[in-house]
Amino acid sequence: MTRVVGNYTPSAVEVSLFGIQAEGFSPDSTVKVTRDSVSVTLQRATDGTATARLDRFVPYKVSVFLQNSSPTNSWFHLIYKMYETYGADFKMPLMVQDKSGDTRLFGTDVFFEKVPDTDFGNTMGTSEWVFLVVSPSFTKGGNVDPNEIIETLQMLDGAIRVAGMFGISLSGFESKISEFGSDAVSKLKEMF
């Protein structure tokens, strides 16, 4: 069995808001993507059976860690002021991408959690900007070339999500997409 070694490069992680790339990240951490709460809750019956309830619309938290001296702080704060002026209807495209792998997140229903604290100390501090992202297109990937089936499913999922974000209906392709998804799942089951 051949072993493949992945390669992760922190400098290859890109974050952009409105297509403007962030720069001046903290030396300790660049970005952190977390699900705001659990996706599945279990309800158990007295006979021991369980029913799982899946919440597909749990928002993600995207924390971006910038040095206090980063020019991106000015950019994010300007966007924050516009966000305060126009409110929740203000669409902000946020993208996080690992160019040394295939992890990526893209969303347009993006909200600021708060403005980071400002600390003037005798060392370079870090500003943590936290965004809430509702229904993003998110792929938790690795840093090794994925299998062709996985890659195709990821592209298909991304296309469907992006089309939905822009109000494009793909209902005419629904049966073909469903058929392709079933075939892909069957092939994945055969592999294991």
**Tally of domains in the chain:** 2
Q: Which of 51-60, 86-95, 139-148 has the lowest mean pLDDT?
A: 139-148
Q: Are residues 164 and 110 in the same domain?
A: no
Q: Are residues 61 and 104 in the same domain?
A: yes
Q: Are residues 156 and 138 in the same domain?
A: no
Region label for 39, one of left (φ > 0), alpha (ψ between -120 and 50) or beta (otherwise): alpha
Q: Are residues 14 and 86 in the same domain?
A: yes
- Place 1 in a pLDDT band, splitting at 50, 70 and 90: very low
For the segment 72-97, the average pLDDT, to the nearest whole number, is 87
In a domain, 161, yes or no: yes
Residues sharing a CB contact under 8 Å with residue 31, sequence separation 6 or more, in sequence order: 13, 15, 25, 62, 63, 64, 65, 96
Q: Are residues 104 and 121 in the same domain?
A: yes
In a domain, 3, yes or no: no
Contact indicator for 15, 21 with CB cutoff of 8 Å: yes
What is the token pair recorded at 1? 């069995």
Q: Are residues 91 and 181 in the same domain?
A: no
- Cα-Cα end-to-end distance for the chain: 16
Q: Are residues 41 and 96 in the same domain?
A: yes
Q: Which domain holds residue 171?
A: 145-192
Q: Which of 6-15, 43-52, 152-161, 171-180 has the lowest mean pLDDT?
A: 171-180
Q: Is the pTM of this model over 0.85?
A: no
Q: Are residues 183 and 88 in the same domain?
A: no
Q: Are residues 55 and 99 in the same domain?
A: yes
